[in-house]
Structure 1
């Protein structure tokens, strides 16, 4: 991994690539440049979970505003949303690149308030990762953790307001019908 000055920001693509190279070196796995490229390009071809499209359509039809907040770079976000077949689903696809930080930094979570011109108490944050649910909760968002892997909650001093195993559980939590 390349050395960086303290506090110097690197975008998520670069940090992820550096992490991959470090993990390969630490585990004595030799990766060719072509293998590194193939693994990294996997981030650009992500598919949606099977329940995602229908559940998101239910939420949108109910009049909810949908936005996506990610540590991914804007390029990674656009590619992943397109690959998942979710173009036009989200009003906003927000990258923490805009504030040169990563979640769980409060500046990252503030992006949604600013982009949607909506107070934090009107936003329900719906993450995949437990640490992200905790970060959003610390920031002051209501949270619903989509715990697809059935992971135990991380011991971080806060708990999500709701938990489910998929987006259908979110729809039910909100009292909507699919």
Structure 2
């Protein structure tokens, strides 16, 4: 469906890569390995793969644990061994990621315009609590909705339907803002407006429907809503 700003009552947003910059985790890895870029690419892709496979084989575990397993795999695939405490040190950076520059003021415009804003994320509750606290956006965010609450990960429609129920908003009146294509498509499949926040300039790709709306930041999204 095409984006209809008049139909939007509530906004949900993804977390990592949308609100906060996960590149600090790569920087932390760089302190301990040489093939940082290659390892981080495998780490990221394997983390997504594990969550999606877990949805279909009843293999749910909290995202922090999925992320640890993915990092372990990426290291092993490159013949690198790191002590357990070093692995935990790298992972702990996820609790202290820096917020993108447009987030506070951009989301502030949404809130002032009357739109409640919720975080909907694969991250487990502890990760989301520390993310919101470190980013300093607690006064702007209505609440966080974690995949842990339903023990299934994006892009399963269940998590978006659960988020709609948590917000008390009809799912067709929610705009979900995210970077990853699977998250945008998952929200659209569940019945939300899918808004792609394109921070990377990468092409959308030929698979699946186009996003209902594409923006480069939260200010552009606020403009689209007329606030």
TM-score under structure 1 length normalisation: 0.92
- 2-structure distance, mates of 1:92, 1:154: 32
State the partner residue of 1:88: 139
Q: 1:157 aligns with which of 203, 208, 220?
A: 208
State the partner residue of 2:112: 61
State the partner residue of 2:176: 125
Unaligned runs of 5+ in 1: none
- For residues 47-73 of structure 1, the C-alpha deviation after alignment (integer angstroms, 9 at most, x for no partner) is 110110000111000110111100000
State the partner residue of 1:135: 186
State the partner residue of 1:104: 155
- Indicate the SS of the match to 1:124: strand
Bigger relative CO (Cα 8 Å, ≥ 6 apart): 2
Q: Does 1:51 align with 2:102?
A: yes
- 2-structure distance, mates of 1:154, 1:20: 27
Runs of 4+ in 1 over 3 A off after TM superposition: none
Unaligned runs of 5+ in 2: 1-53
Q: CA RMSD in A?
A: 1.3
- For residues 101-146 of structure 1, the C-alpha deviation after alignment (integer angstroms, 9 at most, x for no partner) is 1000011111221101110111011112122111111111112110
- Structure richer in helix, relative to its length: 2
Q: How many residues align?
A: 172
- 1-structure distance, mates of 2:131, 2:165: 23
